[in-house]
Structure 1
Amino acid sequence: MRSIKQIHKAEYRPISDLITYSPMPTGSIQMIDPFLFLNHHGPQQYPPNNNGLPFGPHPHRGMETVTFILDGDIAHKDSGGHKSVIENGGVQWMTAGSGLLHAEVSSEKFKKEGGDLEILQLWVNLPAEHKMTEPKYVGFQRDQIPTISLDNGKVTGQVVSGSLEGTKGAFNTFTDVNLATLNFEENAKVSLDIPKDHNIFFYVIKGEFEVNGEQVKALHLAEFNNDDEQLEIEAKSESTLLLGHAKPFDEPVVARGPFVMNTMEEIDEAYADFQTGKMGAWKE
């Protein structure tokens, strides 16, 4: 079985009144190539007449954002002309590529009525050859994302990208990035084979797992060695997992703020292009 290198605890980093845990990067881990960053917002309940999510217009270049709406909703808008409201169970995939501005806020309905909110946002790197690709956005609601059932229905989930146990994911991606969210009943088990040359992203959203003989609790990220293919996962309670894997790019990574490139010169260029309007203009 594949061995665990280290288990990392998410750091608590609230953003205004938004509960936020950050499993990566932290003081103990910078990235799991090509996975760059994860923020876990919530779970929490917003009252009626709230301000909603605080993520107003901001730029990105050189990476992709994958946003899992576990509860609540997100109203997306970007300088490429894309607009959507994705509700609980849905996923957004935005390829920033050469650069764009976007905002991720709550819908007017959510701000007026309030409700439960829980969201994950994962940043996935783009390889050098695709960093300046044309920006793209796709948002899928819950019923547009393929589902999977394992262990006689005790494990259910969504296949977001790549494939899992023969089920193809909803999103077509530049690189072979495999992502799924999996819900386990207590004592449910799965055995998965993941290519040895792929890095694994294993984040426990809630509950507790025993994976390859080690305990991994909620709000913890397991970092694995690349020494075997087999994962044996057992839920010790009702639990939810974000599972990803991909072949690492093994390229230099220079990240500053919302930009992820390969050199500092490219970062400087990204800031200059943003400031001169080359990433698009924001229209209310």
Structure 2
Amino acid sequence: MTIRTTAGLLHATPQLEGEGMLVTRPFPTARLDQLDPFLLLDRMGPATHGPGEAKGAPDHPHRGFETVTYVLEGAIEHGDSQGNRGRIGAGDVQWMTAGSGVIHSEMPSEEIRRDGGRMHGFQLWVNLPRRDKMMKPRYQELRASEIPTAKSADGKVAVTVIAGDSLGARATIDTRTPIIYLHVRLTAGARFTQPIPATYNAFAFVLGGEANFGNEIARENDMVVFERDGDEVSIASDNGAELLLIAGVPLHEPVARYGPFVMNTPGEIRQAMIDYQTGRFG
């Protein structure tokens, strides 16, 4: 096994989305447009809202990719143009495959909007291969109790396995292309090694603490991109750290992108806009 080196470090920047929701975004930015097959990562919070302050993302369309929402604190309610309704709370994951198109909303829960409360979570956008871009939309919702977890033999590393496998635990989520999505917690003095095929693109995003990736030290809201020069990633922490480790097989397909539409050609983007404007998104 060969340890991957790092290709660089990016610090996430805050910006507003939806109806004024503050997110911290490592990509897409001017420095990194995408990391095939990943299109976007947003950190929502952590923030404590007063009554009436919490913001979300009212009705908006998607076509041609997947959104993966992972809630750490608080709760999010969603609804869409096909009549689906749901709620995900702390530790839960929603993996939405937009496919041919949905119009949906993602809002803090009614009680948080009304009474205030704490919100923290992530949303990852995963591109779909050409063959799946017009598939029927679907949702996979996993409660925290349904998501596998594992610990290292010395007890210093705990991993929540959202997609892929780690430390002997395998995720139950069904992904359209091979994906690894891990929430890794390291205590002081921990060292963690995760196998990742050399063909995968991979990155880590630090939630807190300080993590050492060989020649790169990353802190809160730093994203570390790995070279494809090895088949495992090594992470260490002297004083403890918490991070997401995400990897996937690149699609190597053309990407045409306009807001919430991600297709392969400009013509497909124009068609998506026409379909949305004429009510063909369910």
Interval of TM-score (by shorter of Structure 1 and Structure 2)? over 0.9
State the shift of 1:224 in Å.
1.4
- Farther off after superposition, 266-275 or 6-15: 6-15
The reply to whether residue 278 of structure 1 matches residue 277 of structure 2 is: no
CA distance in 1, matches of 2:240, 2:168: 25
Counterpart in 2 of 1:54? 56
Per-residue deviation, residues 246-283 of structure 1 (Å, max 9, x unmatched): 11110111110000011100000000000111102xxx
Counterpart in 1 of 2:230? 228
CA distance in 1, matches of 2:65, 2:47: 28
Do the aligned partners of 1:11 and 1:22 also contact (CA within 8 Å) in 2?
yes
The reply to whether residue 108 of structure 1 matches residue 110 of structure 2 is: yes
Question: Which one-letter code corresponds to 1:114 in the other structure?
Answer: G
The reply to whether residue 258 of structure 1 matches residue 265 of structure 2 is: no
State the shift of 1:61 in Å.
0.3
Question: Which one-letter code corresponds to 2:225 in the other structure?
Answer: E
CA distance in 1, matches of 2:136, 2:109: 27
The reply to whether residue 22 of structure 1 matches residue 25 of structure 2 is: yes
The reply to whether residue 32 of structure 1 matches residue 35 of structure 2 is: yes
State the shift of 1:234 in Å.
0.8
CA distance in 2, matches of 1:121, 1:105: 13
State the shift of 1:157 in Å.
2.5
- Identity percentage over the alignment? 36
Do the aligned partners of 1:63 and 1:96 also contact (CA within 8 Å) in 2?
yes
In the TM superposition, 1:1-284 aligns within 5 A as 1-15=3-17, 18-47=21-50, 49-280=51-282
Cα RMSD for the two superposed structures: 1.5
Q: Report the TM-score when normalising by structure 1.
A: 0.94
Partner SS state of residue 266, structure 1: helix
Do the aligned partners of 1:97 and 1:130 also contact (CA within 8 Å) in 2?
yes
- Farther off after superposition, 176-185 or 160-169: 160-169
State the shift of 1:152 in Å.
2.2
Gaps of 5+ in 1: none
State the shift of 1:166 in Å.
2.7
State the shift of 1:17 in Å.
5.6
Do the aligned partners of 2:214 and 2:235 also contact (CA within 8 Å) in 1?
yes
Aligned residues: 279
Partner SS state of residue 28, structure 1: coil
CA distance in 2, matches of 1:76, 1:153: 36
Do the aligned partners of 2:64 and 2:262 also contact (CA within 8 Å) in 1?
yes
Gaps of 5+ in 2: none
Q: Report the TM-score when normalising by structure 2.
A: 0.94
CA distance in 2, matches of 1:94, 1:50: 27
CA distance in 2, matches of 1:219, 1:132: 34
CA distance in 2, matches of 1:236, 1:219: 18
State the shift of 1:154 in Å.
1.7
* Segments of 4+ moved more than 4 angstroms: none
